[in-house]
Structure 1
């Protein structure tokens, strides 16, 4: 071994001995193994194109539900736009409700729902990939869309509750207490939203304790992104020229959505690593750690698309055979075959 490899081996042994280092490293490794960065790109892409249809849908529904309360309509819309600090201020005056006869509005809403459901499908694909759910166990066409619309309904309800509760607190608690209330209420609501996301969008039975750490991390990440986005707008975009500001808004929004998707998926990966004890992972191979083998086996089984298909995984090196090879939740092939001899499989 050269001096660089010896140094890396020492670091590898250190992180494998200590969970405080091993869990973050294993999470980063699994994030790369699952190609979660690619999933985050798809989420940002569909999220970008779903944003305007969702805002149109929200303003149309508010116009129906609160026809005599324009002030409350504006408060709810501003609350929804506050979740997107990069572009929210620019959209406040450009988003209007659908107009026309009843048939035209119904057709328009149907088109908006169809256009917005892409982000729900991308989110389900990403979460199932993070949990390595085999394709044969994933929801069918209709179930996927039902889950996607349920997720959008949860987001809309959370926005409404956040607006009402935060507005009430701002009137009751002036000054610093009002600011604290306005920060803590959205954070608490985000905890509930991410709990739904991390459980409903995965085609496997998960309990609260399986996702609680990732839920907390995701809520912290989201709160930080909103604060950071507001800082970016106030310090950069507000002083940009019209042309430069337009491109800065588009690039800034896409970057913000991508970073939000990446951090959310990273929080989900933390859930998987901790729940299934997918650490320690090796920095250099060989040898493979037991957790390395489990992850590689899960990635192989994830490609199973038909009930008639069965896949066995064996390793050809001299490392001890696994006695336990957990797959994704609900996977019938989640136990290994300790009696199998090493060989190509």
Structure 2
């Protein structure tokens, strides 16, 4: 009896999976999310997001130091404007620590140059984690990726571009605050500026770091999605993090700040990886995917062949992926 019941339950479950599989293959709005999730796990998405979070967190403080140093030196004669720009670039609760660290830097000469170069080098960790994630998501073979020197040059270029976009977003927010007096309009305009800056950063990052030609048309879907979600996360964090730090009290306040920033970085990293997967799935026609994978369809074959080609490490090496002949399902 129990064996028969188990067999019937197994058949029922298999039938449900087949029907769901057929449904998501027929409807693009269902098939696309399934394909994105499949590719996310095929690429090791959770690991890539964790590495971006870890190295991004280690790079965050050096980057804030560099940004603060640049703004302070540029706007030295305008302390009021300097403070307003810094408020947009560095969270107020982190500014005292950044200013103390900045004060410990050598005042001038070779020691200062060495210190700034060290900060620049320390800040490249997060960008390099993004570099490896992007090239894996877009299926770039190892042999076509940049050498070590070009990796660091490109990473520094992305840091500079990101800083410029952040400054432009801060400037637009300041102009909006000056011209528009309604708080609701100010917040909306600031959010639009943030989305535009993030989309620009994502697009330029693809152009600089991905070792294969990509058009803006290949990137825009994931870029817009990522920019919108990251903006929402930043807006939420602006109101949630100070409340959590205040509730933590003076003893655990610094710890709560670190945990909050790390959590925010993790959510942003997951968002960016998934949004880039959306662009890669659309560009590579990797949808719809099979739910079971037992009988791979055309999109499955393209996705798995792309994974295989990434292992081509030297010139002339060609990795091919073959599939045994299988009887197609009724849905195919």
TM-score if structure 2 supplies the norm length? 0.90
Q: What is the CA distance between 1:319 and its match in structure 2?
A: 5.2
Q: Tell me how far apart the structure 2 counterparts of residues 62 and 285 of structure 1 sit (CA, whole Å).
A: 53
Contact 1:281 1:291 in 2 (8 A): yes
Counterpart of 1:94 in 2: which secondary structure? helix
Instruction: Say which of 83, 91, 94 aligns to 1:91.
Output: 94
Name 1:273's counterpart in structure 2: 281
Which residue of 2 is the match for residue 330 of structure 1? Answer: none
Structure 1 residues 184 and 285, CA gap change in structure 2 (3 angstroms): closer
The Cα offsets for residues 15-40 of structure 1, whole Å up to 9 and x where unpaired, read as 01111100111001000000011111
Superposition deviation, residue 65 in structure 1: 2.0
The one of 257, 260, 276 aligned to 2:265: 257
Which one of 222, 238, 244 corresponds to residue 246 of structure 2? 238
Q: Distance in 2 between matches of 1:235 and 1:103?
A: 43
Give the structure with the higher percent helix.
2
Out of 124, 142, 147, the residue aligned to residue 149 of structure 2 is 142
* Residue aligning to 1:104: 111
Please state how far the C-alpha of 1:92 moved relative to its aligned partner: 1.6
Which residues of 2 match residues 1-345 of structure 1 at below 5 A? 2-81=11-90, 88-96=91-99, 97=102, 98-175=105-182, 176-318=184-326
Q: Which runs of 5+ in 2 are unaligned?
A: 1-9
Structure 2 CA distance, aligned partners of 1:120 and 1:234? 27
Name stretches of at least 5 consecutive residues in structure 1 with no aligned partner. Answer: 82-87, 321-345
SS of the equivalent of 1:67 reads: coil
Deviates more, 1:271-280 or 1:241-250: 241-250
CA distance in 2, matches of 1:199, 1:20: 28
Match in the other structure for 2:4: none
Count of equivalent residues: 314
Q: Take 1:221 and 1:183, find their aligned partners in 2: how far apart are those partners?
A: 11
Please report the TM-score for the alignment, with normalisation by the length of structure 1: 0.87
Q: Secondary structure at the match of 2:96?
A: coil
Task: List per-residue Cα deviations over 1:311-343 (Å, max 9, x = no partner).
Answer: 2221123258xxxxxxxxxxxxxxxxxxxxxxx
- Structure 1 position 225, deviation (Å): 0.7
